[in-house]
Amino acid sequence: MPAVRAFAFVLALGTTIVGASGEPESGQGKPSFAIQPQTYEGMITDTHCGAKHSTAIGETATDCTIICIRAGEHFVLVDGDTTYLLDGDLFVLKRAAGKRVRIIGSLNGKTISVTAVVTT
């Protein structure tokens, strides 16, 4: 009789076994909630210059941003006093550098994962 109880116990456990990651081994994880894309507006620039490009180099905001990006800076969106890092297609971001834009993307902390860019 103890063997039957042990077998029933093991069988019951077998239906609820969870892997080391805490996820069911069937591959069915907890439902994930996708971050909904939102719209952000501002100017695409770089982490070095922000909203104020140097007039000393005699370049436009677009040219200044591209120069800074080539020097290792990162694209940002400046919206008033708020600055967001941009993570997206570099070709698309370069085309909009130094311009006012509307960005569609998902915010994670202070970084926007860019889905689309529309110049305004």
pLDDT digits (tens, 9 = 90+) for 1-45: 544 444 343 334 343 333 344 444 444 554 555 678 999 999 999
What confidence score (pLDDT) does residue 53 get?
75
Instruction: Indicate the burial class of 25 (C-beta count within 10 angstroms; 0-12, 13-18, 19 or more).
Output: exposed
**pTM score, whole prediction:** 0.68
Q: Which residue has the tokens 């509307």?
A: 102
Q: Are 93 and 78 in contact (CB under 8 A)?
A: no
Please write the tens of the pLDDT for every residue from 68-120: 999 999 999 999 999 999 999 999 999 999 999 999 999 999 999 999 999 98
38 phi/psi in degrees, rounded to 5: -130, 170
Domain ranges of the chain: 38-119
What confidence score (pLDDT) does residue 107 get?
96
Q: Which CATH class is domain 38-119?
A: mainly beta
What confidence score (pLDDT) does residue 34 get?
60
